[in-house]
Amino acid sequence: MKISKDTNILIVGLGLIGGSYAKGLTKGGYKVNAIDTNKETVEFALQNNIVEKASTEADDEMIRNADVVIFALYPHIFKEWIRDNQSKFSPGTIITDVTGVKGCIVDDIQNTLREDCEFIAAHPMAGCEKLGIQNSNEEIFHQANYIIVPTEKNTQEAIELCRSIGEALKFNRISTLSPYDHDEMIGFVSQLTHCIAMTLMTCNDSDNVEDYTGDSFRDLTRIARIDEVMWSELFLLNKDALLHQMKLFTMEFSRLERMLMEADKAGIKEMMRHSTARRKLFDKEKVVD
């Protein structure tokens, strides 16, 4: 089962990610409706032909007509929204999401949801430091990873459908991880990096540092502009995995500190060689599906 040009897709939440989904799917020729409580957002989406129809309310007909619902809002609203609106779903509706943490959410949603509908979790690993539909851009997905996060409750059909959404949005790579593995990985590559960028930005309040920075500092702190509502929630929802990754980082950082204190040039060089060799694996050019 794949999405087709006849599939009624409903996006709930037209922020940066929801808006970029809407743009990508609409440009791909798919039928997209949307719900967002913000009037300006809805008007913007309609005026710019990002969606066919849009509503500021959880519109009964729009929800009933949806074959696929993509939830693109803050995690804590997700369960609530499902509880309040699931009576409007037609039987067989597939629900997916874009949430950045999974372990604490997927079971909850799957247990809350009506038995004749199915929730399949997904995580588009893309973003931008600027928020809102005004900054949405489907191209942020083209070099990015799309991760499907099924549980044993999911059907093969739903996983395939979810994959077809990733394909329609032209993600560079589509893969599958369990909720646990997903959260460990996200704790490392996404949340730990945000913790580091924030720390670097706040650990030294010297004046005029900005006058002397090179690209290294700018690169390491790009993500230090951070939406505190979203990210404080994501950090706390993934607290254990994130604390584990912070521990690993701190241990290695202390090791480097000790080598410096002891002027252990050979040890520092060895760590640099390890770092250089491992970084080569991450070159974008090499990431092919």
Q: Interface residues for a second copy in 75-134 (CB under 8 A)?
A: 125-127
Task: Report 149-178 residues binding a second copy (CB under 8 A).
Answer: 173, 175, 177
Q: How far is the CB of 196 from a second copy (least distance, A)?
A: 6
Piece in contact with a second copy (CB under 8 A), picked from 39-47, 57-65, 155-163, 211-219: 211-219
Which C-beta is closer to a second copy: that of 28 or that of 267?
A: 267
Which C-beta is closer to a second copy: that of 115 or that of 281?
A: 281
Decide: 37 and 156 in contact? Cβ < 8 Å. no
Task: Report 216-245 residues binding a second copy (CB under 8 A).
Answer: 216-229, 231-233, 235-236, 239, 242-243, 245
- Applying CB under 8 A, the site for a second copy has a residue count of 89
Which C-beta is closer to a second copy: that of 47 or that of 276?
A: 276
Residue 142 touches a second copy, criterion: CB under 8 A: no
Which C-beta is closer to a second copy: that of 49 or that of 213?
A: 213
Residue 139 touches a second copy, criterion: CB under 8 A: no
43, 201, 228, 246 from 233: Cα distances, Å? 28, 20, 8, 17
Residue 60 touches a second copy, criterion: CB under 8 A: no
Which C-beta is closer to a second copy: that of 65 or that of 178?
A: 178
Which C-beta is closer to a second copy: that of 80 or that of 189?
A: 189
Task: Report 246-275 residues binding a second copy (CB under 8 A).
Answer: 246, 248-254, 256-257, 260-261, 263, 265, 268-269, 271-275
Contacts of 122 (CB under 8 A, 6+ apart): 96, 97, 98, 146, 147, 148, 149, 162, 165, 166
Residue 198 touches a second copy, criterion: CB under 8 A: yes
